[in-house]
Amino acid sequence: MMRLDKFLCEMGIGTRSEVKTCLKKGQVTVNGEIIKKPEVKIDENNDIICYLGQTLAYEAVQYFLLNKPAGCVTATRDNLSETVMSFLPENRRDDLFPVGRLDKDTEGLLLLTNDGQLAHELLSPKKHVDKTYFAVIDGEVKEEHKQLFLEGLDIGDDDPTMPAKLEILKSGETSEIKLTIQEGRFHQVKRMFEAIGTKVTYLKRISMGPLSLGDLQPGEVRVLTETELEQLKNR
């Protein structure tokens, strides 16, 4: 059982004060009855709660996969820039957060959830979760660089990077690569290529653990499938 106003807030209807206004206007029904008191207790799993005629299904945890476009920031709120949260559906929980961070100019796979335990599991370097990126590089990436990435690079931190798998798709003045890492340091991929005298000009995360972008276009978002969730939790 939980308070009606708490339920509505968690379902993303609005802040506490906004929810109270909705209730006063008679915009919320519980099992077909208009309820105006925010303190009314409801059974979130069995009662039928509707807002403006739309049924709200309670989900204690939610999982969304976003193909983050360049130009937005990986944050729950920002005063200057659009955030990744703006791409999520309106009828979502209000306590979702991005798992990890992609730079403003970086595109690609981003998981958003309110499952703190899963987020910790995915982000901990000790858990060895693969994160694979596609990048366009200004400069020649050579076969000999593969071993350097595998051994770990000095990118100015206390410790060298963990072993990373470098795949060269195209080599020349402009190179194209895939890179798989298992940590997520600040600007890590960019700094790794700077360490070998080159520069990342385009960066996109294409997979994280068992999750991949598939046909998801920049700015598009979808709910994780049951199979994906199972794979994430039973790695």
Name the residues annotated as catalytic: 103
Q: Strand 174-181 and strand 199-208: pairing?
A: unpaired
- Find out whether 9 and 42 touch, Cβ atoms under 8 Å: no
- Find out whether 44 and 7 touch, Cβ atoms under 8 Å: yes
For residue 94, give the 3-state DSSP assignment. Answer: coil
Measured distance CA(168)–CA(142) in Å, rounded: 8
- Find out whether 224 and 65 touch, Cβ atoms under 8 Å: yes
Nearest to 136 by CA among 94, 85, 170: 170
- In angstroms, the Cα distances linking 121 to 5, 89, 99, 158, 201 are 32, 25, 10, 23, 30
- In angstroms, the Cα distances linking 22 to 1, 53, 144, 158, 189 are 21, 13, 63, 53, 46
Alpha helices in the chain (DSSP H): 4-10, 16-24, 116-123, 143-151, 188-194, 226-233
Tokens for 235? 């790695």
For residue 10, give the 3-state DSSP assignment. Answer: helix
DSSP 8-state secondary structure symbol assigned to residue 83: B
